[in-house]
Amino acid sequence: MSLLSDPMGRELVPTKRRRTRSASKRRPHSPRERAPKSATSLLRRSKKSERENARWLQKYDGRDERYKHLTSSTGRIGHVTGLQADMLSLHYLGENKNEVIPVKWLRYWDKIVGRAAEWNKDALMVFDPPPDSRNPVNPRLPNMHIITPERHAELLRKERIADERTNEGR
């Protein structure tokens, strides 16, 4: 079974054999241009990112015992095709994206993280998708709130304490 197949042996990513050019016919890569990565290395990097983020989510949020048969030991469910999600914890069902983000978004995030630190506040970045025909996915899609992992861990810890206190009162 290859790295690019599911547990049943079916290919997840179709692999085609490409004819390579001989060394004399290859176009040289400029120093600024990166050589294309193989599908295997991209898949490996993606799964590693899923595992790390699922492990983090389980560490701070906890494991959902109702779905323990679906999740791996790290909390990853990306190996189950058809679920269309990557990680599962007590309160969250998550999708992990290990992709390039537009530089201007990274600049916005860097700016707000810096300003929040100066003001002794927590950073928050909100993406507000347009609620009309300019949004081709879903016009009623909710905002995305982006916070730091440290703030998220703190909120999960406080939520767990509040849940324990609520359960004690029953």
DSSP secondary structure of 91-143:
S-EE-----PPPHHHHHHHHHHHHHHHHTT---EEEE---SSTT-SS-TTPPP
E strand or H helix at 164 = helix 149-168
* b/e map 23-46, b = 16+ CB within 10 Å: eeeeeeeeeeeeeeeeeeeeeeeb
| Domain ranges (residues) in the chain | 41-98, 100-170
pLDDT per residue rounded down to tens, the chain (170 residues): 445 555 556 665 555 555 555 545 555 555 455 556 688 888 888 888 888 999 999 999 988 889 888 888 888 887 776 788 889 888 899 988 888 889 999 999 999 999 999 999 999 999 887 777 666 777 777 888 999 999 999 999 999 899 889 888 76
